A = this chain, B = another copy of it.
Amino acid sequence: MRNISDVIEQYLKQVLKESQANAIEIKRQDIAKRFECVPSQINYVINTRFTVEKGYLVESKRGGGGYIRIRRVILHEKQDLLASLIDFLHNQPNLNEQVVENILIRLFEEGLLSEREVRLLFHVLSDESLGLHATDRHLIRRQQLLALMKLLSYR
């Protein structure tokens, strides 16, 4: 293998495969030492190889007792729908309540959200809840809906 990133990637995937739990917890420093590279190399590997689209979920904690946890997740089969909604969100400047509702209902119809989840989210994303000026509302909704899509992309 030609570069260290690939080697580290393979190593992590191997460990992941061997673990029962679908998840591993590593110490950045340890891995860096094992492969004799700088710690930030590990971030590079994770950012380029263990992304959500590739079916991985990464959490971490800093400070004493810190760790990086990598989890294998199963992607939802409706990636196309999500991609098109994400695309829509990026190009639609006007995210008023009606548009938000449409999106949420669409997600419900496609089986990605329950009725109750739609209600919760709609309430949280409503004009009343957000307050603010219209432009800010649109902006925040876009970001929050995008975060939602990202979460829905796996089970």
Contact = CB atoms under 8 A, between A and B. Distances in A.
A131 B136 CA distance: 12
Contacts of A1: 65
A8 to B, nearest CB: 12
State the copy count for this chain: 2
A128 B116 CA distance: 24
A87 interface: no
Given A2-B65, A3-B65, A6-B65, A144 B119 contact: no
A129 interface: yes
Interface of A: 1-3, 5-6, 64-67, 116-117, 119-121, 123-126, 128-132, 140, 143-144, 146-148, 150-151
